[in-house]
Structure 1
Amino acid sequence: MRGFSFRSLTFMLFIVFLVWSASFDTCIARRGKHWRPSRSNSASLAKKKGKSHGNSHHRHHHGVSKPKTPPHKAPAPPPPAPKEKKPKPKPKPSPPQTGSTTFNVLDFGAKGNGKSDDTKAFQAAWAAACKVAASMLTVPAEYVFLVGPISFSGQYCKANIVFQLDGTIIAPTSSNAWGKGLLQWLEFTKLVGTTIQGKGTIDGSGSVWWQDYPFEDPIDNESELVIPLNNTVQQHPPMPIRNELKGKMPSVKPTALRFYGSFNVTVTGITIQNSPQCHLKFDNCAGVLVHDMRVSSPGDSPNTDGIHLQNSKDVLIHSTDLACGDDCVSIQTGCTNVYIHNVNCGPGHGISIGSLGKDGTKACVSNITVRDVVMHGTMTGVRIKTWQGGSGSVQGVLFSNIQVSEVQLPIVIDQFYCDKSKCKNQTSAVALSGITYEKHKRDIHSKTCTLCLQRCPTMH
């Protein structure tokens, strides 16, 4: 019994232990809040949630897909090569910025092709230059600018403006561009210290005027003694230089370049050619300098004075070539302190004082020196001409070292000047005093004479 009891007890305890162990494992499996997932379950859960663990060392078999590693970021492609740019046309030049002192007419719309009207562009360029002291308006070389009648007014302009002329300016040949009664083409008024300089040309297209009006006035009355060089104009008028004429040109022929009411002005380097009438005129000016420039027109072009001075003082003209159809230099009333030297004259009518005293007016001219001048093929040499009936005086005149060749009348003093077939003979006239001639040289083809046509009421 003892044996049975001990064995039975041992057996029963073993059975109880087994039952208790089974119940304990079951309890652990059912306690959800104490359940801890294994690493494989964690991976499966992460997979379901879309998460991946790149650092997992577990390998999955039996059809379980391997976690995907994140793709490596592809390197950015190189930037595309820049497209080859086609050269762009040069932009049109714009007007100069504020503070500029140079104003090119091309920057203001001038074409410079000789056909387009560039008058407005010149006006705009001048208006800009006029506001700046010591500025420069440039007319560039290798361009031809068609410019109508224009006034470069200076009443409110700054001083010392330079007009740099290296191109060519031509006058229109259509009568529509001129209106009626214009006395000048290019006019500079009320300026101080202005200079026109350069190697350019001012062309007045005079031929179209000369054919319509061969002479504004009859030929000088010295033609009674000599065969006038411009007699061929009456027989064979010049042909027009263009075929674009629209109607007859106005009867009043303009001066090509005129200065009026200006002080300290200079013209140098340029050429003025084929003016309808006078080429270069200074009226009511003081402090005038003209040098190293040229005037060029045919000897048979009517009334085309080279340089015309009127009511002007303190004038110096030198180193200049003058070829025209009238006086190379004409000195009119109101002129004083005029000095002319080293000038070539011809063809033309020589260098003249007058005509003075027309229609009974008073004329005064004084302190005139003309020296070291060469004249070739001119109608007269040095000349003084006054109308009868006038008053005033010509005094203090020196003609020195005048060389003439093929000049028909080297020295002329005419106090009965008349531009008509017949003039009334009057006893009053402009008085002459202090007139000196020295060192004149002539060739065998030139006459030597001092003329006083008709009567000489006053001569000293």
Structure 2
Amino acid sequence: MSIINTLIHILIFFFLPLPLFIGIAHSQKILDITKYGAVGDGRTDDSPAFVNAWKDLCQGINEAINGIPTLNVPEGKTFLLQRLKFEGPCNTKNVHLQVLGNLLAPARGAWKECDSEDWLSFSNVENLMLDGSGKIDGQGAAWWSTSQYDGRSRKLLGDNDCKPQKALQFQNCQNLKLSGLTFLNSPQAHIGINSCDNADVSHLNIHAPEDSPNTDGIDISFSSHVTIRDSSIGTGDDCDDCISIGNRCSFLSITNIACGPGHGISVGSLGEDGASSKVDNIYVKDCSFTGTTNGARIKTWQGGSGYARNITFEGIKLDRAQYPIIIDQYYCNGEHNCKSQSSAVVVADVTYIDFEGTSATEEAIKFDCDQVSGGCHNIVMDRINIMPAVRDMKIFATCNNAKGTYVGTTVPNVPCLQSSATKPTRPTTIYTGSGGSGSANLHINYYLFCPLMTVLVATAIF
């Protein structure tokens, strides 16, 4: 009887509590922003409520044991917010901000703080989860009407008003998760990700009108192991990228992005003002460009140094895209009146696989590479089929200091590439996201229990 009892206890210990353990591990202490005095009528300044609620959330006030503290912004309400800084580090291992309602920026002229480039920012917060079905509206239209910017300071010329603000900035937020939200009409770029490693960005809708200036979708810099996936991004058509990959980025995976309007998905610009730039291991797959000014783009300034290498664009659909494939090493902020320089960013190991669709410009492929750096090295093309968007328009490719190979048929023909029978090598290490807080580990640990359980059962019986 004692052996049977022991066996029963072992089985109960290893199997029955497992769902309970999972439940405890994911239990949440939910804070409601309205309990902190937020009104949510779109007119009252709810900033103080968010400041106080964040303080409690970050400090872990009344946190459940092993729980994930969550601040809920309820649906059906619109919360007017001034410039807010959500700062860490936090006392809790995980922080969850769930936005189901809407966040609204002040109207132009109603900003209380003008010396910042960001409307909402998170800094030094590890394991931050920001998600929900809500909207983040930057009310940027009033800025766009006087959008003649000084290219360096980004300040409105002839205007003493506030600088246009980026809607949302993440700074040094490791293990970030951002998903589900809709971003509308930012005065400037919508989302900035800087110095954030192990980030998973998914299921976003980012939209600004085609005539809105400087409204990039997502700008990334100084970050590694970042996934951006399953999102729709439409931005302005004045040098505004759906996704911009800046300096010191590596191991980025960008998949299933619907881009348009906008300037496509860009690596760069790199090397401005003689800067040293290092970008590598970038993988863009299963993305579409509709009515964009560019498609798959790499852009660098003369006079810089460093490299952009190991970059792959694969499975790209084109619909009336201008310059579907472009490497521009004479960027100069789009002016192309570049002064002669003695150095340049090296562009190498760039692969284009399976492009299909139409070009709105005759010049469908453009490789304009800098002679100072020795040109662009090891460009590889495989299964490129770009057709004119307009009947009887003839499309072509141009090359300047570019070298590489193509496999099979490439339309249009790229004169600087040599035919090869060797298929391009796809990236061997593609980052796919953090996969949740501990879910994979829980799965592994559960199966590690099984051999131990077997040993204990055998011991009890024998």
Change (3 A) 1:454 1:101: closer
Equivalence for 1:311? 222
Q: Given residue 224 of structure 2, which amino acid in structure 1 is its aligned partner?
A: K
Quick one: distance in 2 between partners of 1:312 and 1:336?
Answer: 7
The 8 Å contact of residues 191 and 262 in structure 1, kept in 2 or not, is answered as yes
Alignment of 1:108-187 (within 5 A): 108-132=36-60, 134-187=68-121
- Among 319, 337, 354, the residue aligned to 1:439: 354
The 8 Å contact of residues 105 and 139 in structure 1, kept in 2 or not, is answered as yes
Pair 1:269-2:180 in alignment: yes
Quick one: distance in 1 between partners of 2:359 and 2:185?
Answer: 32
Equivalence for 1:67? none
Quick one: distance in 2 between partners of 1:362 and 1:291?
Answer: 30
Equivalence for 2:302? 388
SS class of match (1:352): strand
Change (3 A) 1:144 1:445: same
Alignment of 1:374-413 (within 5 A): 374-413=288-327
**CA-CA distance at 1:363 after TM superposition:** 0.3
Cα deviation digits, residues 43-65 of structure 1 (max 9, x gap): xxxxxxxxxxxxxxxxxxxxxxx
SS class of match (1:451): strand
The 8 Å contact of residues 165 and 199 in structure 1, kept in 2 or not, is answered as yes
Quick one: distance in 1 between partners of 2:118 and 2:254?
Answer: 24
Equivalence for 2:257? 343
SS class of match (2:89): coil
Quick one: distance in 2 between partners of 1:122 and 1:432?
Answer: 45
**CA-CA distance at 1:199 after TM superposition:** 0.5
Quick one: distance in 2 between partners of 1:454 and 1:432?
Answer: 8
Quick one: distance in 1 between partners of 2:107 and 2:288?
Answer: 34
Equivalence for 1:258? 169
SS class of match (1:398): strand
Q: Given residue 111 of structure 1, which amino acid in structure 2 is its aligned partner?
A: V
Equivalence for 1:225? none
| Paired residues, number | 333
Q: Given residue 164 of structure 1, which amino acid in structure 2 is its aligned partner?
A: Q
Pair 1:290-2:201 in alignment: yes
SS class of match (1:403): strand
**CA-CA distance at 1:293 after TM superposition:** 1.2
Quick one: distance in 1 between partners of 2:58 and 2:369?
Answer: 52
Q: Given residue 303 of structure 1, which amino acid in structure 2 is its aligned partner?
A: N
Equivalence for 1:366? 280
What are structure 1's unaligned runs of at least 5 residues? 1-98, 219-246
Specify the structure having the higher radius of gyration (Cα). Answer: 1
Q: Given residue 126 of structure 1, which amino acid in structure 2 is its aligned partner?
A: W
**CA-CA distance at 1:420 after TM superposition:** 6.8
Alignment of 1:28-177 (within 5 A): 101-132=29-60, 134-177=68-111
Q: Given residue 256 of structure 2, which amino acid in structure 1 is its aligned partner?
A: N
SS class of match (2:68): coil
What are structure 2's unaligned runs of at least 5 residues? 1-26, 61-66, 153-158, 378-462
SS class of match (2:341): coil
Quick one: distance in 1 between partners of 2:367 and 2:150?
Answer: 25
- Among 260, 265, 269, the residue aligned to 1:355: 269
Equivalence for 1:91? none
Higher strand share: 2
Equivalence for 1:4? none
Quick one: distance in 1 between partners of 2:228 and 2:246?
Answer: 15
Cα deviation digits, residues 361-385 of structure 1 (max 9, x gap): 1000010000100110100001000
The 8 Å contact of residues 390 and 429 in structure 1, kept in 2 or not, is answered as yes
Quick one: distance in 2 between partners of 1:177 and 1:280?
Answer: 19
**CA-CA distance at 1:210 after TM superposition:** 1.0
Equivalence for 1:249? 161
The 8 Å contact of residues 323 and 359 in structure 2, kept in 1 or not, is answered as no
Quick one: distance in 1 between partners of 2:134 and 2:100?
Answer: 4
Equivalence for 1:234? none
The 8 Å contact of residues 327 and 369 in structure 2, kept in 1 or not, is answered as no
What is the TM-score when the length of structure 1 is the normalising length? 0.69
Quick one: distance in 2 between partners of 1:387 and 1:292?
Answer: 33
SS class of match (2:210): coil
Quick one: distance in 1 between partners of 2:49 and 2:229?
Answer: 33
**CA-CA distance at 1:214 after TM superposition:** 4.2
Q: Given residue 407 of structure 1, which amino acid in structure 2 is its aligned partner?
A: A
SS class of match (1:286): coil
**CA-CA distance at 1:344 after TM superposition:** 0.3
**CA-CA distance at 1:159 after TM superposition:** 2.4
Equivalence for 1:92? none
Q: Given residue 457 of structure 1, which amino acid in structure 2 is its aligned partner?
A: V
Q: Given residue 354 of structure 2, which amino acid in structure 1 is its aligned partner?
A: K
For the aligned residue pairs, the C-alpha RMSD in angstroms reads: 1.9
**CA-CA distance at 1:216 after TM superposition:** 5.0
Equivalence for 1:423? 338
Quick one: distance in 1 between partners of 2:73 and 2:100?
Answer: 6
Q: Given residue 212 of structure 1, which amino acid in structure 2 is its aligned partner?
A: T
Cα deviation digits, residues 139-191 of structure 1 (max 9, x gap): 10000000010011112342211110000000001434243331101101111
